[in-house]
Chain A
Amino acid sequence: MKIRLNQKTIPILATIAVFILVYTVGSILYTGFFSLRVFTNLFIDNAFVGVIAVGMTFVIISGGIDLSVGSVIAFVGVLTAKLIHVYHIHPVPVIFLALLFGALFGFTMGCLIHFFNLPPFLVTLVGMFLARGLAFLTSLDAIPIKHPFIDRIVDFGIPLGFRAWLPATGIIFIIVVLIGIYLSHFTRFGRNTYAIGGNEQSAILMGLPVGKTKVLIYTLNGTLCALAGIVYSLYTLSGYPLACVGLELDVIAAVVIGGTLLTGGAGFVEGTLIGVLILGLIQTFITFQGTLSSWWTMIVIGVLLFVFILLQRYLSTTSITTTNLAVKEAVEMQPT
Chain B
Amino acid sequence: MSDRRINNENFQKLLWPLVALGLILLFNFFFTPGFLNVEVKDGRLFGSLIDIVNRGAPVMLLTIGMTLVFATGGIDLSVGAVIAISGALAATIIRPDYVKGVLEYGELRPLFMVVSIPLLVSMAAGLWNGLLVAIIGIQPIIATLILMVAGRGIAQLITQGQIVVFIHEPFQFIGSGFLFGLPFPISIVIFMCALTYLLTRKTALGMFIEAVGANPVASRFMGVKERLIKISVYTFSGLCSGIAGLIICADIKAADANHAGFLLELDAIASVIIGGTMWGGRFTLIGSIAGTLIIQSLTTTILTIGIAPEVTLVFKAVVIICVALIQSEDFRRLFTHRSPQLKAKSS
Contact = CB atoms under 8 A, between A and B. Distances in A.
Contact of A125 (B138, B160, B266, B308): B266
Contacts of B154: 299
Given A117-B328, A125-B266, A295-B161, A137 B311 contact: yes
Interface in A128-149: 128-130, 132-134, 136-137, 140
B266 to A, nearest CB: 6
Interface stretch (A249-257, A270-278, A320-328): A249-257
A297 interface: yes
Decide if the interface of chain A is mainly helix, strand, loop or mixed.
helix
A249 B148 contact: yes
Nearest to A297: B153
B331 A116 contact: yes
Nearest to B265: A125
A122 B152 contact: no
* Residue with the highest number of chain B CB atoms closer than 10 Å, among A117, A129, A293: A129
B82 to A, nearest CB: 13
A271 to B, nearest CB: 16
B198 interface: no
Nearest to A128: B266
A30 interface: no
Contacts of A129: 266, 313-314, 316-317, 320
B149 A126 contact: no
Contacts of B146: 302, 305-306, 309
Contact of B314 (A133, A298, A313): A133
B139 interface: yes
B189 interface: no
Contact of B156 (A122, A137, A295): A295
Nearest to A250: B149
A215 to B, nearest CB: 15
Nearest to B161: A293
Interface in B269-307: 269-270, 273, 279
B150 interface: yes
Interface in B168-196: none
Contacts of B257: 295
Nearest to B142: A262
Nearest to A314: B136
B43 interface: no
Nearest to B155: A295
B199 interface: no
B330 A252 contact: no
Interface in A273-318: 293-299, 301-303, 305-306, 309-310, 313, 317
Given A116-B325, A118-B328, A136-B313, A249 B145 contact: yes
B149 A301 contact: yes
Decide if the interface of chain B is mainly helix, strand, loop or mixed.
helix
A269 B167 CA distance: 52
A249 B149 contact: yes
Contacts of A256: 142
A303 B150 CA distance: 7
Contacts of B3: none
B157 interface: yes
A263 interface: yes
Nearest to A132: B313
B324 interface: yes
B218 interface: no
Interface string B243-269: 000000000000001000011001001
A117 B278 CA distance: 12
Interface string B316-327: 111011001100
A296 B330 contact: no
B321 A126 contact: yes
B147 interface: yes
A251 B202 CA distance: 43
Contacts of A245: 262-263
What size tier do the contact residues of chain A reach? 35 or more
Interface string B35-78: 00000000000000000000000000000000000000001000
A116 B328 contact: yes
Given A65-B141, A116-B330, A137-B314, A126 B153 contact: no
A109 to B, nearest CB: 10
B312 interface: yes
A122 B273 contact: yes
A262 B156 contact: no
B107 interface: no
Contacts of A297: 153
A244 to B, nearest CB: 13
A302 B149 CA distance: 6
A136 B313 CA distance: 9
B104 interface: no
Contacts of A303: 150
* Residue with the highest number of chain A CB atoms closer than 10 Å, among B310, B315, B316: B310
Contacts of B318: 130
A252 B145 contact: yes
Nearest to A316: B137
A128 B317 CA distance: 8
B141 A125 contact: no
Nearest to B313: A133
Contact of B147 (A123, A263, A302, A317): A302
A96 interface: no
A125 B137 contact: no
Interface of A: 65, 112, 115-119, 121-123, 125-130, 132-134, 136-137, 140, 245, 249, 252-253, 256, 262-263, 293-299, 301-303, 305-306, 309-310, 313, 317
Given A249-B148, A295-B152, A299-B150, 10 more contacts: A112-B325, A123-B321, A130-B314, A130-B318, A249-B145, A263-B139, A296-B157, A299-B153, A309-B146, A313-B137
Interface of B: 75, 136-139, 141-143, 145-154, 156-157, 160-161, 257, 262-263, 266, 269-270, 273, 279, 308, 310-318, 320-321, 324-325, 328-331
| Closest CB pairs A-B (n = 9) | A302-B150, A133-B313, A298-B153, A136-B310, A133-B314, A295-B156, A129-B317, A130-B317, A299-B153
7 contacts: A123-B324, A126-B320, A134-B314, A137-B308, A262-B142, A299-B157, A313-B137
